[in-house]
Amino acid sequence: MKKILLLLLSAVLALGLLTGCGGKSAPEPVEDSAAGENSAGGEDSAALASFSAGTLDGGAFTQDDVKAKDVTVMNFWALSCGPCIVEMPDLAAFAKALPDTVQVVTVCLDGGGSEDAVREVLDGAGFEGVTLLSADGDLLALAQSLMYTPTTIFMDSEGSLVGDAIIGGQEDLSGTFLAAVNRVLEAGGKDAVSLEE
């Protein structure tokens, strides 16, 4: 009986690792507000023009932080998502290899109240960038519209989403994400970048 249960659990975990995790839990709002006050313009919004988010280290991250870079890569993940945690070391390596004009930010959708667990995952993966745990405005609306984790979006300095979101774990995360970053740069008339070796 234990062998059957172990085989079944292994099969479910393997399937989850290959396909990503469905469902979501949006970040907690930064402040209590009436519905609609922090509207992002609906699910069709194509920009993160106005938002504020709380970071894992207790700071704040806003659209001004997006404006400071040519490209922002935003990875939405969850503690309850096996593929998200499996890809985190690759995401960390990708982030470290990027030039200073490109930033990687993670959004842990179920990390509020579980900060120690979030730190453990990030530290174990070697991720040193910004991680968001709460949000309002356009970012909250976007997070609430997500269907699967991991989901990664790519924004220009104005917060406009460029290209398609990348959903699920990637066999070649660095290559796939670098191509998406360069599409954002090209759309903005900027030179492509390569990963520092």
Tens of pLDDT along 98-155? 999 999 999 999 999 999 999 999 999 999 999 999 999 999 999 999 999 999 999 9
pLDDT of 20 reads 53
Rounded average pLDDT over 166-170:
93
Q: What angle do CA 99, 82, 97 make, to 5 degrees?
A: 10
> Which tokens sit at 134?
């709460």
Structure-model confidence comparison of residues 86 and 45, the more confident one: 86
Largest CA distance in the chain: 61
Q: For 5-45, what is each residue's pLDDT tens digit?
A: 333 333 333 334 334 575 544 444 433 333 333 233 333 44
Of 96, 97, 100, 107, nearest to 153 (Cα)?
107
Judge whether 21 and 149 are in contact, CB under 8 Å: yes
Confidence of residue 79 (pLDDT cuts 50, 70, 90): very high
State the average pLDDT over residues 50-69: 95
What pLDDT sits at residue 196?
75
Q: How many helices (H) and strands (E) does the chain have?
A: 6, 9
Q: Which of 32-36, 152-156, 171-175, 177-181 has the lowest mean pLDDT?
A: 32-36
Question: Of the ranges 22-36, 65-79, 165-179, which one carries the lowest mean pLDDT score?
Answer: 22-36
Omega before 89 within 30 of 0, i.e. cis? no
Q: Residue 152: name the closest of 173, 174, 134, 167 by CA.
A: 167
